[in-house]
Chains A and B, each alone.
Chain A
Amino acid sequence: MFAYYATSLLTAITSLSLGIFVFLKNPKNKLHRSLFRLNMAVCVWSFFLFLHYASRTYFQAMLSLYILHSAVILIPACYVHLVVDLLNLRKPREIKILYYICAMFLPLVYTTYFIAGIEPKLIFRFYATAGPLYILWMITYIIMAGYGAFLLVKHYRNSSIIKKIQIRYVLCASFIGFIGGATIYPLFYNIPMLPFGEHIIFLYPVIFSIAVLKHDALELNIAIKRTIVYSVSIALITLTYLVIVLLSERFLRGIMGYQSLSITVAAAVIIALIFSPLKNRVEAIIERFYIRNAYQRMQKELIDSDKSKALAQLAAGLAHEIRNPLTAIKTFCEYLPKKYNDKAFRDNFSRIVNDETEKINSLIDRLLEFSKPTTLKIAPCDVHEALDYTLNLLSAETLKSKIDIIKHYNKENHTIYADSVKLKHVFFNLIKNSIEALGEGGNITISTSSVGNKFNIDITDNGCGIKEKNLGRIFEPFFSLKDQGTGLGLSVVQSIISEHNGIILAKSAPGLGTTFTISLLFAKSVS
């Protein structure tokens, strides 16, 4: 029985906290508002279900049953509303009709046509028995839930990658919510089956929130963590309270006379004393067993979604870049039959077609470098050695351009787990960029430092700098500020650093210079 108290309360807490969190995150967003509505309906339903289970009198049980049904009849309409908003469909009239249909059941809830009565069933002190019209509500529930799921499946194929992930989450949550919820009803018809599906319903608001906040995965991570911590803490405290009450009933009643007020006060004191350490303990355990994995998974999803965006930009950029050489080849081929006997044309043809084909080839090489799924060869890598190796490769250019290299290497550990070849590629691109930004003269300063489990590398030049409006775009594929640049260098650099679970940041002031900061993990942790 305790399990039913706990899970209904847990569902109420998760739906309330995540509903409010999502709503406050962006109250103007219609999808956030839809999730808030659905979560509030689920919250009222599950909270009054908790009170219903805990009821000691017929009146309490009936009252809580009426209130929970007033909320539950709105859930299917709220659900379809959320699906429609998620898919960005315009169905305001249909949604209104669904709400009206649900609202039509409201007056019925308080009659015996809907709930014939309550009586003890299986382990429950009070459990409802369905009235003759309850079946109508069941059919409506199934049709609306099915309609929502149908819309999701129908629009799945033509959705973007991110939307597909959201749809998958919503389908999963729908399955859990509606199948879990469906197990409540057999006992309404005196079929002796416990509503065991109720124990998983608390996952329903959690998964819905993940779906809605797909782009804010890290913040959601914090919200889920807090929700879990408080839910588990409250469940443990409820358990403590019940244990105290039960023990008091059994052992103290005979000895000192049972006084419920004094027991409640004693329980409150004990709970007040244990709440904070208990919460901290729960937090630590959840941090260790759940959040770390969730965080890593979400971080990977973020990187994957960034990569998808990058690949989309890449495709758009490729279309443009490849059209230039294609234009030249096409035009010269078009004129070949007409001007075949013109030696000057033939020479030009040979030169242009060759050069332009080479351009396409080198573009494809660089593209493959960016987009091919790379397997990192992770091994201990001496960062200073990799930096020196790269500086040596570029020494002819730095000498020619009269650029001074200033090194501030840290003296502590400078061996990290990384792919040394790819890291050299990163350093090569960044230092080459600095050389180009400097033109002639100037300094490139390379500093390394370690903070905790992170190893940082700063590459700074005092060159022309990057304007603020361009700084946010420098890692985009095909975004180039150089006349001859392909715009792939820095996107490749970012891609390599992401694969190492690292971060790269750029700071710049026009006329003063630019600093690229790379932060990598010492440990063997790569995506």
Chain B
Amino acid sequence: MRDIPASAIGGPVMKKKILICDDEIGVRESLKLILSDKYDLLFAEDGKKAIDEIERNPDLKGMLLDIKMPALNGLELLKHLKRHNKNMPIVVVTGYQSVETAAESLKIGAANYITKPFRSETVIETLEQAIS
């Protein structure tokens, strides 16, 4: 699912391209609300679709990734990307507030993590730090 391209929204400044991968439409819409002013957003509903988007968009600057998803979950996708040397910064967005999940995602190679329900400032700051 591709969002409106940055050029259509206007402005000469090229926005950084970010992929949001979450199976919940509500969460995708929320992240769109928070980030669409600053970033050119792409969306994927599951891990497999995220891989397709990553292949199609080599200029991706970062990714927000849910953990619990059908088809291919966030941790599996993270492992897959690291195996294939896709080294873009990935921020894990998780409903699991356990230290273990966060630690595991960081061990696999996530840049950082945020937990749901999140504050918009947290999302913006964490993503900015990760891709800067």
Q: Of the candidates B23, B33, B71, B116, which one forms a contact with A326 in the assembled complex, judged by CB atoms under 8 Å apart? A: B116
A residues within 8 A CB of B120? 331, 334-335
A154 within 8 A of B: no
B58 within 8 A of A: no
B26 within 8 A of A: yes
Contact B117 A320 (CB under 8 A): no
- Among A105-113, A226-234, A348-356, the stretch that binds chain B is A348-356
| Assembly CA distance A414 to B74 (angstroms) | 48
With most chain A CB atoms within 10 A of its CB, the pick from B26, B96, B116, B118 is B26
| Assembly CA distance A438 to B30 (angstroms) | 35
Q: Separation in Å of the A393 CB from the closest CB of chain B?
A: 27
Given the known A-B contacts A326-B117, A331-B120, A334-B120, are A320 and B30 also in contact in the complex, defined by CB atoms under 8 Å?
A: no
A residues within 8 A CB of B95? 319-321, 323-324, 327
Interface size on B, residues (CB 8 A): 22
Q: Which residue of B lies closest to A483 (CB)?
A: B70
B27 within 8 A of A: yes
Contact B116 A327 (CB under 8 A): yes
| Assembly CA distance A482 to B23 (angstroms) | 12
Q: Separation in Å of the A414 CB from the closest CB of chain B?
A: 38
B76 within 8 A of A: no
| Assembly CA distance A334 to B116 (angstroms) | 14
Contact A324 B26 (CB under 8 A): yes
Contact B116 A324 (CB under 8 A): yes
Contact A352 B26 (CB under 8 A): yes
A155 within 8 A of B: no
Contact B116 A323 (CB under 8 A): yes
B29 within 8 A of A: yes
CB within 8 Å of A: which of B110-124? 116-120
B residues within 8 A CB of A355? 25-26
A250 within 8 A of B: no
Q: Separation in Å of the A476 CB from the closest CB of chain B?
A: 14
A residues within 8 A CB of B29? 328, 332, 348, 352
* Per-residue interface assignment for chain B, residues 12 to 46, with 1 indicating a CB less than 8 Å from any chain A CB and 0 otherwise: 00000000000111110111011000000000001
Q: Separation in Å of the A265 CB from the closest CB of chain B?
A: 71
B97 within 8 A of A: yes
Contact B68 A483 (CB under 8 A): no
A408 within 8 A of B: no
| Assembly CA distance A356 to B24 (angstroms) | 10
| Assembly CA distance A299 to B46 (angstroms) | 42
* Per-residue interface assignment for chain B, residues 85 to 120, with 1 indicating a CB less than 8 Å from any chain A CB and 0 otherwise: 000000000011100000000000000000011111
B residues within 8 A CB of A483? 23, 46, 70-71
Q: Which residue of B lies closest to A356 (CB)?
A: B26
Contact B26 A482 (CB under 8 A): no
* Per-residue interface assignment for chain A, residues 317 to 350, with 1 indicating a CB less than 8 Å from any chain B CB and 0 otherwise: 0011101111111111011000000000100100
B residues within 8 A CB of A328? 24, 26-27, 29-30
Contact A330 B33 (CB under 8 A): no
Contact A327 B30 (CB under 8 A): yes
B residues within 8 A CB of A323? 95, 116-117
Contact B27 A324 (CB under 8 A): yes
Contact B97 A327 (CB under 8 A): no
Q: Separation in Å of the A188 CB from the closest CB of chain B?
A: 58
A residues within 8 A CB of B31? 331
Q: Which residue of B lies closest to A339 (CB)?
A: B33
| Assembly CA distance A480 to B71 (angstroms) | 11
Q: Which residue of A lies closest to B96 (CB)?
A: A320
B residues within 8 A CB of A321? 95
Q: Which residue of A lies closest to B120 (CB)?
A: A334
Q: Of the candidates A320, A326, A330, A332, which one forms a contact with B68 in the assembled complex, judged by CB atoms under 8 Å apart? A: A320
Q: Separation in Å of the A251 CB from the closest CB of chain B?
A: 79
Contact B24 A324 (CB under 8 A): yes
| Assembly CA distance A246 to B95 (angstroms) | 78
A residues within 8 A CB of B118? 327, 331
Q: Separation in Å of the B119 CB from the closest CB of chain A?
A: 8
A residues within 8 A CB of B97? 319
Contact B27 A327 (CB under 8 A): yes
| Assembly CA distance A323 to B96 (angstroms) | 9
Q: Separation in Å of the A85 CB from the closest CB of chain B?
A: 27
Contact A482 B70 (CB under 8 A): yes
Q: Which residue of A lies closest to B119 (CB)?
A: A334
Q: Which residue of B lies closest to A324 (CB)?
A: B24
Q: Separation in Å of the B116 CB from the closest CB of chain A?
A: 4
| Assembly CA distance A131 to B31 (angstroms) | 83
B residues within 8 A CB of A359? 26
Contact B27 A332 (CB under 8 A): no
Besides the contacts A324-B116, A331-B30, what 12 more A-B pairs have beta carbons closer than 8 Å?
A319-B97, A320-B95, A321-B95, A324-B24, A324-B95, A325-B24, A327-B118, A331-B117, A335-B33, A348-B29, A352-B29, A356-B26
Q: Could you tell me which A residues sit within 8 Å of B by CB distance?
A: 319-321, 323-332, 334-335, 345, 348, 352, 355-356, 359, 480, 482-483
* Ranked 10 nearest A-B pairs via Cβ: A328-B26, A331-B30, A323-B95, A327-B117, A320-B95, A483-B70, A323-B116, A327-B116, A324-B24, A330-B117
| A–B pairs, 7, beta carbons within 8 Å | A324-B116, A327-B117, A328-B24, A328-B26, A331-B30, A331-B120, A359-B26
